[in-house]
Amino acid sequence: MHRYGLIGRKLGHSFSKKHFTAVFRKAGLKDHRYDLYELPEIEALPDLLRRTPGLHGLNVTVPYKEAVIPFLDELDPLAAAVGAVNTIVVKDGRTQGHNTDVAGFRSLLARAARALDKPGSAIRPRALVLGSGGASRAVAYVLREAGIRFRIVSRSRNRGDLTWDLIDPVILRVCRLVVNTTPLGMYPDVHDAPPLPYSALTPQHTLIDLVYNPEETLFLKHGLERGAKAIGGAGMLRVQADEAWRIWQAARKG
Ligand SMILES: NC(=O)c1ccc[n+]([C@@H]2O[C@H](COP(=O)([O-])OP(=O)(O)OC[C@H]3O[C@@H](n4cnc5c(N)ncnc54)[C@H](OP(=O)(O)O)[C@@H]3O)[C@@H](O)[C@H]2O)c1
């Protein structure tokens, strides 16, 4: 059996098993399977690798995208530059970390770009990135690549540029792109949203939520109510999963 799977702390919300099971079925790969491996601590990874013969690849989710790095044998250059891993290749007893959230977020940013680049505007958009975890690192990498200046909002003073209590309507008015990389609003906590002064949002704003379940989070609803463009995380999810599958297939052939 050729095995793939997802590691994370709580995986009840995961779309990956359904997605990859469908990919395998469509490709006629009857001897491939995808499983969810809930790990209470990332220290449990070496044991999982030891007791799972036939494992070729893993996806990594909350909260292990950064914590997994010291447990890997190597990193590909993109994952090293981002500082987070969401895809692992297992080959010949060695593990290599990759980051496909970058490709996923590039696809969301491309959808936002038309709204942000107003013709004739000399003002480059500025962004707020909410949260400082693994996905935030991929978002920061892509924003840097696109030349968009941004600030990271964190609960902790030493992980971000700003703490939540500092986000006033003036800051929110200036930052026309707001990206939620926190899990706030994710099923089942659908009545949660990042604590922002939403009344400062305008039709010139674009909100991107990495949360994909529900498709329209309370964060995005707050934006839509004020005429902002709202982009959910479902598109990113598909792109990052396709990219992971491409990497795993290339590793098997190579
Ligand atoms: N659509 C996609 O393809 C896609 C891809 C990747 C991730 N995601 C989603 O993005 C979210 C984050 O994923 P991740 O892997 O980056 O997780 P993570 O590594 O755990 O990071 C999440 C960050 O959010 C902040 N946060 C957590 N709980 C919070 C709370 N109660 N209030 C305020 N801030 C909080 C924390 O930043 P501070 O410690 O700085 O406050 C934390 O580091 C998840 O919902 C995940 O499903 C979606």
Residue 68: give its domain's CATH number. 3.40.50.10860
Residue 253 inside a domain? The answer is no
Same domain, yes or no, for 17 and 67? Answer: yes
Nearest to 196 by CA among 227, 229, 162: 162
- Res 115: pLDDT: 72
Q: Is 118 a catalytic residue?
A: no
| Burial environment of residue 129 by CB neighbours within 10 A (0 to 12, 13 to 18, 19 or more) | buried
User: Look-up: residue for tokens 């009545």?
Assistant: 191
Residue 12 inside a domain? The answer is yes
Same domain, yes or no, for 197 and 75? Answer: no
> 43, 72, 99 — which closes off a domain?
99
Nearest CA to ligand 1 atom 31: 184
Nearest CA to ligand 1 atom 19: 133
Residue 26 inside a domain? The answer is yes
Per residue in 156-213, pLDDT (tens digit) is 999 999 999 999 999 999 999 999 999 999 999 999 999 999 999 999 999 999 999 9
> 99, 120, 139 — which closes off a domain?
99
Q: Residue ranges of the chain with pLDDT lower than 70?
A: 13, 118-123
State the distance from the centre of ligand 1 to the C-alpha of 22, rounded, in angstroms: 26
Number of structural domains the chain divides into: 2
Residue 154 inside a domain? The answer is yes
> 41, 73, 99 — which closes off a domain?
99
Residue 202 inside a domain? The answer is yes
- Res 120: pLDDT: 53
CA–CA separation, 108 and 103 (whole Å): 9
Residue 206 inside a domain? The answer is yes
Q: Which of 62, 178, 217 to mutate to test the pocket of ligand 1 (most atoms within 8 A of CB)?
A: 62
Residue 155 inside a domain? The answer is yes
Residue 124 lies in domain? 102-235
Same domain, yes or no, for 85 and 121? Answer: no
Same domain, yes or no, for 75 and 131? Answer: no
- Res 121: pLDDT: 57
Tell which atom from ligand 1 comes closest to the C-alpha of 233: 1
Q: Which residues are 168's β-sheet partners?
A: none
Considering 10, 17, 18, 65, which one is annotated as catalytic? 65
Same domain, yes or no, for 38 and 126? Answer: no
**Could you tell me if 125 and 147 are in contact, meaning their C-beta atoms sit under 8 angstroms apart?**
no
Task: State the pTM of this model.
Answer: 0.96
Mean per-residue pLDDT of the chain: 95
Distance of CA 118 to the CA centre of its chain: 27
Same domain, yes or no, for 72 and 165? Answer: no
User: Three-class SS of residue 235?
Assistant: helix
Same domain, yes or no, for 143 and 95? Answer: no
State the distance from the centre of ligand 1 to the C-alpha of 59, rounded, in angstroms: 16
Residues touching ligand 1 (Cβ under 6 Å) are 61-63, 65, 101, 104, 131-136, 154-156, 159-160, 181-184, 186, 210-212, 233, 236-237, 240
Tell which atom from ligand 1 comes closest to the C-alpha of 64: 19
